[in-house]
Amino acid sequence: MFQKRCEGRRIKLEIIKLNVGFTDTDLKKCNLLFMGGAQDKQQQIAAFDLMKKKKILREIIENGTPGLYVCGAYQFLGEYYKDADGTVIKGLGILDLYTENPGVNFSRLIGNCSVKMADGSTIVGFENHGGRTFLGKQVKPLGKIMKGFGNNGRDGTEGAVYKNSFGTYLHGPILPKNPVFADNLIKIALEKKYGVSPAINLSPLDDSLEKKARNAIANRLGVKL
């Protein structure tokens, strides 16, 4: 999605895939970070490798490099994840949050959802997670959950924002179904790279297909966009 929207505006974009074993130099080249989740085995492998890069990743996030961290990546940026069997998995400790899985007697939080952002706009997506995430004082929620479960199904929050880093439980559809949100991340990355704030105006694109996808989810949830 980032690639498509940059190419539509003739913005030169290089995608660097940071596989296991990537170096600090690889990470420092990035102006916009995107990290998702995976199944437990693959996530454990990635987590072990990321622990070695904890210092540089913290520096990059603290420096304001924008990033989108979804589900497992969002959880791993926090202090810890407590599994359903009580095992505590240490996180990177970069974001002031923690996640706990209440166990097999509790349902996974699954389904389409909508979130009201701080600026009044609405984003839609799909969530599927067993962990319940709770935010500390050093981060703000991405928004207020309108339909769905959000961070924990209890306090009405979804996701987390720290500087230019955005954590969320809204999976891949968060970008194609919310082009304005995608553009905001691109804009932040450009302003950070070229040292202008705020002076980047992105040219409009044909978002008719994306709007249809948003409207379909909104209608299904019974919410207004």
Instruction: Give the pTM.
Output: 0.94
Exposed, middle or buried by CB within 10 Å (0-12, 13-18, 19+), for 43? buried
Q: What is the pLDDT of residues 87-117, one digit of tens each?
A: 888 999 999 999 999 988 899 999 999 999 9
pLDDT at 14: 93
Average pLDDT value for residue range 120-135: 95
pLDDT at 23: 85
The answer to whether 6 and 34 are in contact (CB under 8 A) is: no
Q: Angle between the 54-62 and 40-51 helix axes, to the nearest 10 degrees?
A: 80
pLDDT at 127 over 90: yes
Catalytic sites, residue numbers: 71, 171
Distance, first Cα to last Cα, the chain: 21
How far apart, in whole angstroms, are the C-alpha atoms of residue 202 and residue 204?
6
Q: Average pLDDT, whole number, for the chain?
A: 92
User: Which structural domain range is residue 60 located in?
Assistant: 2-221
Residue with tokens 């706009």: 121
HEC string for 73-93: HHHHCCCEEECCCCCEEECCC
Higher pLDDT, 102 or 197: 102
pLDDT at 40: 62
Lowest mean pLDDT among 116-120, 175-179, 185-189, 196-200: 196-200
pLDDT at 198: 73
CB atoms within 10 A of CB 91: 21
Q: Please name the helix (run of DSSP H) or strand (run of DSSP E) that holds residue 24, with its range, or none.
A: helix 24-28
Number of domains in the chain: 1
pLDDT at 48: 79
Q: What is the pLDDT of residues 10-49, one digit of tens each?
A: 999 999 998 888 888 888 999 999 998 766 666 677 777 8
Q: What is the pLDDT of residues 52-94, one digit of tens each?
A: 889 999 999 999 999 999 999 999 999 999 988 888 889 999 9
How far apart, in whole angstroms, are the C-alpha atoms of residue 3 and residue 12?
9
pLDDT at 187: 96
pLDDT at 225: 84
Where are the strands (E) in the chain, listed by range?
Answer: 33-35, 67-70, 80-82, 88-90, 97-100, 109-117, 122-129, 132-135, 143-147, 157-158, 160-162, 165-168
pLDDT at 7 over 70: yes
Q: What is the CA radius of gyration of the chain?
A: 17
Q: What is the CATH number of the domain that holds 208?
A: 3.40.50.880
How far apart, in whole angstroms, are the C-alpha atoms of residue 24 and residue 66?
17
